[in-house]
A and B are shown apart, each in its own frame.
Chain A
Amino acid sequence: MADLATAPTRRFGFALPKLPPAIALALVWVIAMIVIAVFADGIAPHGFTALDLKHRLAAPGEPTHLLGTDELGRDVLSRLVASIRISLLIAFGATLISALIGTTLGFLAAHFRGLVEQVVLMLADFQASMPFLIMALSVLAFFGNSLPLLIGLMGLYGWERYARIARGLAISAGSQGYAGAVRQLGASPSRIYGRHILPNIASTLIVSMTLVFPEVILMESGLSFLGLGVQPPMTSLGNMVGYGRDYLTRAPWIMLSPSATIVLTTLAVSILGDWLRDRLDPTLR
């Protein structure tokens, strides 16, 4: 419990000056990433496929190529900007899809119990026991590759966690807690789940989302690294790391900048998630 002196400012708790420095940095980084992703075309100095064969493998610091160039003379900065856009699109899309699928299935299991619950739990166990990378590889091998398919496939990643969390919390809230009390007041299931259970478990779900988000980025990087994710000429962070590997000793900047971006973005999202969980809980304010 905080002291009374800070109480009046509590209402405007999202005001920037009160943010701890680590949170502020993480927030700035994530916002910067989003801005870069949205305005990628305006920010990139060159086209991300434009070749500049005279400046192949140029080191960072050149006036025209700030982060250097790769083996075909393509500008690393421009490719990085384009990669951030694709990787964020995949990570955000996939995280939202899996949260939506998982929470819905979890609520269905908690509400209907019985057979529905058994089926959902069996699917969740199946998903958890199957190495996702192998499943993704086989799907991509059979159905070819396209961005929507990749996002949809990544959207299956981690849904079983949301399903388990949502089911467990909804059942415990329903058997003796507030949800049981509200049901007893005559509330419809949509009211119970939408107005009471979802806001109450949102903090837990958001934290899982921030845990899944970096994993999706890493998974996409892994798939692209194996050549099954984002296909050239399109580029993503993992794709850049994968192709930069061959020049690791001669031109490390090709893969260092996307690697650093992956690490910083996943870290920033995790930090923000942790902070959000505390902010979203009225009992901790």
Chain B
Amino acid sequence: MSEPLVRVDDVARAYHARRGLFGRPVEVAAVDGVSFALGRGETLGIVGESGSGKSTTGRLVLGLEPTDRGGVVFDGAPMPKGGTAEWRRLRARMQMIFQDPLGALDRRLPIAEQIREPLDIHGVGDRLSRLDRVGDLLDRVGLGVDHGRRYPHELSGGQRQRAVLARALATTPDFLVCDEPISALDVSIQAQVVNLLVDLQAEFGLAMLFVSHDLRVVRQISRRVVVMYLGRIVEEGSADDLFATPVHPYTRALVSAAPTPGRRLVDRIVLGGDPPNPADRPTGCAFHPRCPVAEARCRVETPRLVDVGAGRRAACLLVAADATPNREAA
């Protein structure tokens, strides 16, 4: 396999939080040693519950935030420091879709002008060709010229997200990070936007990092999926395998909780308790306080992400024990 478009190597990012007026600052590891690779035209889904570090991962991959450790390699070159001129130039090749399209648009500028903005910034074409391009983009995402003259607050949620999409695609990027792009939309609109994303991805050959907590959407849109828990990857595999035969107990619980039409949730695994506080990470396997099959050693030993066959990786002591022979055989 050729060099992947995006390679993420053991990135980590911690925030400092202070609890109480005179509390000591606590380090909160939002992302802790995440690695994955993404080829051209490929889609990787990241799922996890709130606070699992999936959005932070998306921002780290784009270089929007500095990494404390590890690095991101884009198209063979390390990611320049955020805010520098090279980093800004690279924005033409990598873009982001935000969760809240109204917040991501400048409410004082008409839609068409905002879609034209990346072309202005990166100096693509002359005035007339930019206007043509904006017309094409509007058309491509299913908006009319008339929508281009309107202000963001005059559009519906789905239309706004289409406008954000058109803006992101203006410079024909190679890589798109979608941070929960549909969770702020009505269910009836979600399907439209997802279908549009799938179509556009095929058309432009986009590599896509799709961050979401909606398992069904991730399954529909991604070829491979990464499951995150408390800033670490707990399982990785192709979307079909991972959802059909989840290996990690956390993934099993997630998959069992996703409703399927026509099937009652009889064998649902209900996790006890809240997701633990990232500032107060449990020892050993971070998932052990909620894990239905945890053993005594889960409390002390930290599992590493290991191959469990068929291009899948998981971070669970119990799974690793079962899979070790397979791995050595392979």
Residue positions of A touching B, CB distance < 8 A: 176-178, 180-189, 191, 196, 199-200, 282-283
Contact = CB atoms under 8 A, between A and B. Distances in A.
Given A178-B106, A282-B108, A185 B121 contact: yes
Contact of B121 (A181, A187, A199, A282): A187
B95 A283 contact: no
Contact of A200 (B89, B107, B117, B118): B107
B36 interface: no
A276 to B, nearest CB: 15
B151 interface: yes
B174 to A, nearest CB: 14
B272 interface: no
Given A191-B121, A200-B107, A181 B153 contact: no
B100 to A, nearest CB: 7
A200 B109 CA distance: 10
Contacts of A188: 88, 121
B167 interface: yes
Given A191-B121, A283-B151, A186 B89 contact: yes
Contacts of B219: none
A196 B104 CA distance: 12
A182 B64 CA distance: 12
30 contacts: A176-B100, A177-B103, A178-B103, A178-B105, A178-B106, A180-B64, A180-B104, A181-B103, A181-B105, A182-B106, A183-B83, A184-B64, A184-B91, A184-B95, A184-B96, A185-B91, A185-B118, A186-B88, A186-B91, A186-B92, A187-B88, A187-B117, A196-B109, A199-B108, A200-B106, A200-B108, A282-B108, A283-B107, A283-B151, A283-B153
Nearest to A111: B83
Interface residues of B, number: 27
Contacts, number: 60
Interface of B: 62, 64, 83, 88-92, 95-96, 98, 100, 103-109, 117-118, 121-122, 151, 153, 164, 167
Counting from the closest, the 5 A-B pairs by CB-CB distance are A186-B91, A181-B104, A186-B88, A178-B106, A185-B118
B319 to A, nearest CB: 37
Contacts of A200: 106-108
A176 B103 contact: yes
Nearest to B87: A186
Given A184-B62, A188-B88, A283-B151, A196 B122 contact: no
Contact of A178 (B90, B91, B104, B121): B104
Contacts of B167: 185
Contacts of B98: 181
B95 to A, nearest CB: 7
A209 to B, nearest CB: 19
A182 B117 contact: yes
A186 B92 CA distance: 7
B25 to A, nearest CB: 16
B110 to A, nearest CB: 9
B164 to A, nearest CB: 8
Contacts of B100: 176
Nearest to B177: A184
B62 to A, nearest CB: 7
Given A176-B103, A181-B104, A283-B153, 13 more contacts: A178-B103, A178-B106, A181-B98, A184-B64, A184-B96, A185-B121, A186-B91, A186-B121, A187-B117, A196-B109, A200-B106, A282-B108, A283-B107
A188 B89 CA distance: 10
A241 B106 CA distance: 48
Q: Which of B89, B90, B117, B164 has most A Cβ within 10 Å?
A: B117
Which residue, A176, A180, A184, A200, has most C-beta atoms of chain B within 10 A?
A184
Contacts of B151: 282-283
Nearest to B153: A283
Contacts of A196: 106, 109
Contacts of B109: 196
Nearest to B91: A186
A173 to B, nearest CB: 9
Nearest to B106: A178
Interface centre among B96, B100, B108, B121 (most CB of A within 10 A): B108
Contacts of B62: 184
A185 B223 CA distance: 27
Nearest to A185: B118
B104 A177 contact: yes
Contacts of B122: 186
Contacts of A183: 64, 83
A217 B91 CA distance: 49
B106 to A, nearest CB: 4
B19 to A, nearest CB: 21
A191 B104 CA distance: 16
B142 to A, nearest CB: 21
A122 to B, nearest CB: 20
Contacts of A178: 103-107
A181 B118 CA distance: 11
Nearest to B151: A282
Contacts of B83: 183, 189
A124 to B, nearest CB: 22
Nearest to A184: B96
A183 B90 CA distance: 12
